[in-house]
Structure 1
Amino acid sequence: MYIQCTKALLEKLKIEKSELLPTKSCEDGAAGFYSWHAHFITINRRKVVVCMNNLTRYTIVLYRPKAKDMMELESRIKEGIRTAFGEEGISEVVINEYIEKCGAVEYSKTAGRSMVANLNKICETVQWYADLLDEDTVIQKRISLSLGKYLVKFDGDYDHPEERLFRELCKMRNLSDSEWDRILEVENYQLKIRLDFENFDIWRRVLIPSSCTFQRLHCVIQETFGWFDYHLHEFRLIGEPEEADHKLPLYAYPIKMRIVDGEDPEVGEYLEPDKYEVKFDTKTSLKDVFKDTDTCIYTYDFGDNWEHVITLEKVIENNNRFPVLLERNGERPPEDVGGESGFEEYMRIISDKNHPEHEAMLQWSEITKEKERTIEEINRRMNYFFR
């Protein structure tokens, strides 16, 4: 494995020129698939090491590495590769084979202006994704997943690093470059998402990779229920009430954790981190939370207060990389109908053709109710969106 370092990184590593392998000797036999270019930058005055695969442009990011991390950089980069590949759903057997083929690490200088230009572009993109950086860990798997889906220019054409990575791993295993399913082993969650109504049975059943963030789950709920995403939202874990009164509405239960919109700059104004744990949906994966529970609550529109109970029904290992709607039941209430009581009033009016507000209510609901779509149409849209 060749790690081809920029001058800035070599200075941090304190590697002498005499210790470097000549650039012309950096031939890994796979057109650069086992070689990585690496650069040292700062983001918000924090140290960052960015590693880019020579062939696929797939990126590994080490954030705030300590002195020990820099001394053992080759181990940390391989650990980063293992972590990011695992999050992509690549099977452990394939990851182990890749690491083995990489072999021992040898350091070298960068391989020309073109490769450095590509590396610099990747570093710029990392800075755009700085809000995804996790202060609590060195290996930034969330950025790797996001950059893997970022469209990159390759010799006049455009492609996704993640998909190039999958194709090259297929070649490594002597498979056709379209046989991705044979290298993937994705942990998927089957979730039932039910509107918390006493008199209506409205729910969606979805399959979603456990590595997805709660921000992505928010998008899945919006899409599968046909909400318009006009209003604020949050996820939360709740505890048992002091008095065992099961008639309490969900919002009255004590809060153990709030998972809030990581893209809302004003979200911190109403949080009380001394009373409960706070996480951001852009940085929190489903498996970070569902490893300790099988239920959480999603609230959409703090005015109408639509409470969705999310239940983990089962864990499935397959090659599914994108959220899928499996089943559904019931049409969700129109936006801004006025909560559950408003929805009951709406249902009473539209079911009575003689009601004086019947026609007006029908016209209003055409704009605000869930649009008619098949499961296939919803899945095509989600597949396009999440790709």
Structure 2
Amino acid sequence: MIQLHCTQKLYAKLPVNTQGRLPNTRARPVAANDPAESLLSGWHANLVTLQRRNCVLFVHSATRFPVLLTCLTKPDFAELDYHFQDGLMNTLLKAGANQAQLDAAANALTPLHCDTQCNRSVQGTLNHMKQDLDHLLWYDQLPITDLAPYSASAWLAERPCMAKGVKGCIWPVRAMLALLDSANQSPHLPASDV
């Protein structure tokens, strides 16, 4: 499972069940019943309003890698699993991930498990990225409907981020690609006989 820590504002819009799962109608069903944490687990998300449109900004806790979803409607919140998976894979593609890294990400995709536990350091990164998006839209005089969310996410991922307890800064693209490379380097255990 991929743990998603939502702000209260976003969580109120999600049609989650008592276990914190979304309906998952179009999302990739691989390992849907696997309770283990995925390599990609540990995301924070916030519902942000850009030019009066609902958008969701995701940030990976360890790498600070962002995924932006824009112009969401009520039915889109029920399909958040699908939109997140699509946004992540396309942002990785825009950020220059190679095929092995894309395969590692695709293999680690599992349904989201939502809760409202948040880390203030990651929320600070979310707020900073939202301000960067506001500035981008204002400076380029760009309507939110014309913003390419995958390219905007890759643009945000090229900016250094500070994190509590980390010396120096984190470069989100480098950190995420290194995480995906670590999945490719780990030894594969043989499957047990069933």
Detail structure 1 runs of 4+ shifted over 6 Å in the superposition. none
Asked whether the equivalents of residues 63 and 133 of structure 1 are also in contact (C-alpha less than 8 Å), the reply is no
Map of 2:66 onto structure 1 = 59
Q: What corresponds to 2:107 in structure 1? A: 100
Cα gap change, 1:93 to 1:118, in 2 (>3 Å): same
For residue 8 of structure 1, report the CA deviation from its aligned partner. 0.6
5 Å-filtered alignment, 1:102-121, equals 102-121=109-128
- Matched length: 167
Which residues of 2 match residues 66-145 of structure 1 at below 5 A? 66-130=73-137, 131=140, 135-136=145-146, 140-145=149-154
The letter for the 2-side match of 1:20 is G
How many Å separate the matches in 2 of 1:170 and 1:140? 24
Match of 2:173 among 158, 162, 165: 162
Which residue does the alignment assign to 1:19? 19
Letter aligned with residue 152 of structure 1: C
Distance 1:27 1:119, change over 3 A: farther
In structure 2, how many angstroms separate the alpha carbons of the residues matched to 1:121 and 1:100? 30
Cα distance, 1:88 vs. partner?
1.8
Write 1 or 2 for the structure with the bigger share of strand.
Answer: 1
Separation in 2, partners of 1:28, 1:122: 26
Deviation at 1:29, TM superposition (A): 6.5
Deviation track 1:185-236 (CA, whole Å, cap 9, x = no partner) reads xxxxxxxxxxxxxxxxxxxxxxxxxxxxxxxxxxxxxxxxxxxxxxxxxxxx
- State, as a whole percentage, how many aligned pairs show the same letter: 19
Alpha-carbon separation, structure 2, partners of 1:10 and 1:41:
12
Q: Report SS of the residue matched to 2:169.
A: strand
Evaluate the alpha carbon distance shift between residue 161 and residue 145 of structure 1 in structure 2; reply closer, same or farther with a 3 A threshold.
Answer: same
Report the 3-state secondary structure (helix = DSSP H, G, I; strand = E; otherwise coil) of the residue aligned with 1:168: helix
Give the whole-Å Cα distance in 1 for the aligned partners of 2:55 and 2:131.
12
Query: Is residue 148 of structure 1 aligned with residue 148 of structure 2?
Result: no
Q: Specify every segment of 5 or more residues in structure 1 that has no aligned partner in the other structure, as ranges.
A: 176-387
Cα pair 1:133 1:143 within 8 Å, conserved: no
**What is the CA distance between 1:136 and its match in structure 2?**
4.9
- TM-score, normalised to structure 1, is 0.39
Distance 1:151 1:116 in 2: 15
* Aligned equivalent of 1:285: none
Confirm whether residue 41 of structure 1 aligns to residue 48 of structure 2: yes
Shift of 1:142: 1.6
Larger Rg: 1
Note if contact 2:63-2:175 (Cα within 8 Å) is conserved in structure 1.
Answer: yes
What is the RMSD of the two structures over their aligned residues, measured on CA atoms? 2.6
Q: 1:5 to 1:27 in 2, by over 3 A?
A: farther
* Cα distance, 1:110–1:99 mapped onto 2, change above 3 Å: farther
1:2-13 equivalences in 2 (<5 Å): 2-13=3-14
Q: Which residue identity is paired with 2:185? A: N
Higher relative contact order (CA closer than 8 Å, sequence separation 6+): 2
**Separation of aligned partners in 2, 1:3 and 1:96:** 21
1:93-138: CA deviation from partner (whole Å, max 9, x where unpaired) = 432321322322211223333332332223222222224665157x
Q: Aligned equivalents of 1:37 and 1:133: distance in 2?
A: 26
| Counterparts in 2 of 1:92 and 1:69: CA distance versus 1, 3 Å | farther
Name the SS for the 2:185 alignment partner.
coil
CA distance in 2, matches of 1:98, 1:123: 25
Unmatched segments (≥5 aa) in structure 2 = 22-34, 187-194
